[in-house]
């Protein structure tokens, strides 16, 4: 990591007071709402009593995490305005899902608390347990970078000396804070802190955009990107970083992020009515655009800002700049353009975003492991109290894991691509299970089981596996193409989705579900 102390920051004592004050308020809320978490339905599903406006706030609070802001800003910094297509696709797909109720409405009617619980009701116990294991494994791996990335943001914005143990120290502090109030409050505290985060961050995002445009100049931003990147900075079709297969992959990701990814679906399952659910999703489509679009724009503005002082920011502008440097571009930029006070508010909002994503993810994976793996494997004899204890214990264990992962996994690379492919281990199998399970009567348990297993092929998309594999294929077939152009994470992801879908259909038709008399049965959950 390059020394940020040389670059300076506007972060001052007043900003520290704002940040610490905000974190203390979050902790008090966690303690206050503990009185409402007397059952698993309240702890995990907020009593299924969330109204539409709070639903939008909490959906945004969960999905607009600090890690999202960081990886999106990185994408904007490296890909320019061409990265905007990801945001527009995400918003459009969410709007379609909201208007049609595709997946979310029939799933809510089943009254399940978790995705694997749906697997149990629609398929059978082995599918539920395997689904729970795959989901939790992919999810925990997926959030492995969160703590590190969030801490890098704080260290860069505050100007803490990165030559010391600033990042691990910040990681530890943040993790303790998140663990305390997630284990105490459950979904109710998550939802209420999501709401506060929405308020703080929404206005912080908008004001920062205004200040960035005011400082750099609206037309100047576009002109500078055009001068530096040419058409590749605007067209995702011609961009080397994106291209048609990447755009197709983003269409899949758009559906996954709003209708397949369990933390988003967990919000759908807390809504008090189908009408509220549709309103939540339709209006949240704006948030699904914003959560990418604004950070992309900040990353682009950082690029423009750095090009105005190329000597000072030379390491950001080098042709072979590394991913862990581009990740620092946005926090460096905002620490320069935001005045003290406002920088504290935006940083507090970002830390809140970091915490809200963490608590939602921790709650989601721990509840899946408790409800859908441990409870079934122990004969479903655990009572509510034991399940609550187990969920809280797993939250702490996951917290310890991501701390170690953040400290020892140093090869970050492109964060968005890493997250897409780790998430794919789960969702490539889950897409056919959810859609087929809700809309296709012939979908069978054997097909579901095989589909979940074949989804694990997505792990090939991780660079430590992908790069040697691509090299080997090139040697075998005597291909002379540039490394990284033949096999890409996007192509692996699309291929895995096709594979799981075909496996699901074929195995369901070959091995249908049968009743006790051996007769073929076709299921559809009561609606």
Partner 1 sequence: MNIDSWIWIWKASLIGTLGVFAVLAVVVTIGGAYDVLQLLKSLKEPQDKS
Is 401 a binding residue for partner 1 by CB under 8 A? The answer is no
Beta bridge partners of 50: 271
Structure token digits, residue 502:
């075909």
Report yes or no: 422 and 145 within 8 Å, Cβ to Cβ. no
Residue number, 127 or 279, with CB nearest to partner 1 = 279
User: How far is it between the farthest Cα atoms of the chain?
Assistant: 78
| Angle at alpha carbon of residue 161, lines to 22 and 163, rounded to 5° | 135
Report yes or no: 305 and 333 within 8 Å, Cβ to Cβ. yes
Q: Distance between CA atoms of 333 and 121, rounded to whole angstroms? A: 50
Binding letters toward partner 1, positions 185-224, x by CB under 8 A: ---x--xx--x--xx--xx-xx--x------------x--
Backbone angles phi, psi at 162, to 5 degrees: -80, 0
User: By C-alpha distance, which of 7, 75, 500, 491 is closest to 248?
Assistant: 491
Nearest approach, Cβ of 209 to partner 1 (angstroms)? 6
Q: Distance between CA atoms of 438 and 429, rounded to whole angstroms? A: 15
Structure token digits, residue 470:
């691509």
Residue number, 75 or 122, with CB nearest to partner 1 = 75
Distance of CA 333 to the CA centre of its chain: 23
Nearest approach, Cβ of 195 to partner 1 (angstroms)? 5
Residue number, 21 or 230, with CB nearest to partner 1 = 230
Q: Distance between CA atoms of 245 and 264, rounded to whole angstroms? A: 25
Nearest approach, Cβ of 103 to partner 1 (angstroms)? 23
Residue number, 4 or 86, with CB nearest to partner 1 = 86
Residue number, 95 or 175, with CB nearest to partner 1 = 95
Residue number, 234 or 401, with CB nearest to partner 1 = 234
Place of tokens 């605007």: 234
Binding letters toward partner 1, positions 478-517, x by CB under 8 A: ----------------------------------------
Report yes or no: 517 and 434 within 8 Å, Cβ to Cβ. no
Find the binder of partner 1 among 36, 401, 405, 440 (CB under 8 A): 36
Nearest approach, Cβ of 14 to partner 1 (angstroms)? 24
What secondary structure letter does DSSP report for 339? Answer: P
Residue number, 52 or 455, with CB nearest to partner 1 = 52
Residue number, 8 or 231, with CB nearest to partner 1 = 231
Nearest approach, Cβ of 85 to partner 1 (angstroms)? 9
Structure token digits, residue 263:
């933390």
Backbone angles phi, psi at 271, to 5 degrees: -70, 145
Nearest approach, Cβ of 305 to partner 1 (angstroms)? 17
Is 226 a binding residue for partner 1 by CB under 8 A? The answer is yes
Q: Distance between CA atoms of 520 and 442, rounded to whole angstroms? A: 9
Nearest approach, Cβ of 222 to partner 1 (angstroms)? 6
Report yes or no: 188 and 46 within 8 Å, Cβ to Cβ. yes
Q: Distance between CA atoms of 296 and 302, rounded to whole angstroms? A: 10
Query: Which ranges constitute the DSSP H helices of 338-444?
Result: 342-368, 375-377, 384-408, 415-439
Nearest approach, Cβ of 30 to partner 1 (angstroms)? 14
Per CB under 8 A, contacts with partner 1 among 272-291 are: 283, 286-287, 289-290
Residue number, 290 or 352, with CB nearest to partner 1 = 290
Nearest approach, Cβ of 187 to partner 1 (angstroms)? 10
Q: Which helix (H) or strand (E) holds 96?
A: helix 84-100
Q: Distance between CA atoms of 116 and 311, rounded to whole angstroms? A: 54
Nearest approach, Cβ of 293 to partner 1 (angstroms)? 6
Q: Distance between CA atoms of 39 and 186, rounded to whole angstroms? A: 10
Nearest approach, Cβ of 62 to partner 1 (angstroms)? 14
User: By C-alpha distance, which of 452, 443, 451, 445 is closest to 524?
Assistant: 443
Residue number, 222 or 405, with CB nearest to partner 1 = 222
Piece in contact with partner 1 (CB under 8 A), picked from 84-92, 306-314, 407-415, 417-425: 84-92
3-state secondary structure 263-291: HHHHHHCCECCHHHHHHHHHHHHHHHHHH
Nearest approach, Cβ of 330 to partner 1 (angstroms)? 16
Piece in contact with partner 1 (CB under 8 A), picked from 29-37, 175-183, 326-334, 417-425: 29-37
Is 303 a binding residue for partner 1 by CB under 8 A? The answer is no
Residue number, 125 or 226, with CB nearest to partner 1 = 226
Per CB under 8 A, contacts with partner 1 among 38-57 are: 38, 42, 46-47, 49-57
Beta bridge partners of 514: 520
Q: Which residue ranges make up the site for partner 1 (CB under 8 A)?
A: 33, 35-36, 38, 42, 46-47, 49-57, 60, 81-82, 84, 87-88, 91, 188, 191-192, 195, 198-199, 202-203, 205-206, 209, 222, 226, 230-231, 234-235, 237, 283, 286-287, 289-290, 293-294, 297
């Amino acid at each position: 990591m390059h020394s940020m102390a040389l670059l300076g920051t506007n972060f001052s004592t007043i900003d520290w007071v704002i940040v610490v004050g905000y974190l203390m308020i979050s902790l008090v809320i966690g303690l206050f709402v503990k009185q409402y978490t007397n059952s698993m339905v309240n702890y995990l599903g907020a009593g299924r009593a969330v109204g539409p406006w709070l639903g939008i706030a909490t959906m945004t609070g969960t999905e607009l995490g600090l890690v999202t802001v960081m990886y999106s800003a990185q994408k904007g910094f490296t890909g320019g305005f061409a990265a905007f297509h990801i945001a527009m696709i995400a918003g459009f797909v969410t709007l379609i899902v909201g208007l049609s109720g595709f997946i979310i409405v029939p799933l809510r009617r089943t009254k399940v608390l978790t995705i694997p619980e749906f697997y149990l009701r629609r398929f059978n116990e082995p599918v539920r347990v395997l689904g729970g294991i795959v989901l939790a494994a992919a999810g925990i791996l997926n959030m492995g970078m969160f703590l590190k990335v969030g801490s890098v943001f704080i260290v860069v914005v505050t100007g803490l000396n990165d030559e010391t143990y600033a990042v691990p120290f910040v990681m530890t502090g943040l993790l303790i804070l998140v663990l305390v109030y997630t284990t105490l409050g459950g979904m109710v505290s998550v939802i209420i802190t999501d709401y506060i985060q929405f308020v703080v961050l929404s206005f912080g995002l908008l004001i920062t955009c205004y200040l960035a445009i005011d400082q750099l100049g609206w037309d100047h931003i576009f002109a500078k990107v055009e001068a530096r990147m040419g058409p590749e900075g605007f067209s995702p079709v011609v961009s080397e970083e994106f291209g048609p297969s990447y755009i197709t992959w983003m269409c899949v990701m758009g559906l996954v992020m709003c209708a397949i990814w369990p933390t988003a679906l967990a919000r759908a399952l807390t809504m008090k009515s189908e009408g509220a659910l549709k309103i939540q999703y339709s209006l949240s489509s704006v948030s699904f655009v914003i959560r990418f679009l604004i950070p992309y724009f900040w990353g682009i503005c950082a690029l423009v800002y750095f090009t105005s002082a190329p000597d000072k920011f030379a390491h950001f502008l080098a042709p072979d700049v590394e991913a862990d440097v581009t990740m620092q571009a946005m926090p460096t930029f905002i620490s320069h353009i935001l005045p003290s006070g406002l920088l504290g508010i935006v940083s507090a909002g970002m830390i809140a975003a970091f915490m809200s994503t963490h608590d939602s993810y921790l709650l989601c994976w721990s509840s899946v492991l408790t409800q859908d793996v441990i409870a079934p494997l122990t004969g479903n004899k655990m009572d509510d109290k034991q399940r609550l204890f187990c969920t809280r214990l797993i939250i702490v264990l996951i917290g310890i894991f991501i701390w170690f992962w953040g400290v020892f996994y140093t090869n970050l690379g492109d964060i968005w691509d890493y997250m897409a492919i780790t998430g794919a281990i789960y969702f490539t199998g889950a897409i056919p299970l959810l859609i087929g399970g809700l809309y296709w009567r012939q979908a069978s348990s054997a097909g579901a089981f095989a589909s979940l297993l074949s989804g694990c092929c997505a792990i090939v998309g991780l660079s430590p596996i992908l790069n040697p594999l691509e090299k080997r294929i090139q040697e075998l077939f005597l291909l002379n193409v540039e490394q990284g152009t033949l096999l890409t994470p996007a192509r692996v992801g699309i291929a895995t989705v096709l594979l799981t879908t075909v496996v699901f259909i074929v195995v369901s038709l070959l091995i249908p579900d049968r009743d006790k008399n051996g007769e073929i049965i076709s299921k559809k959950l009561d609606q």
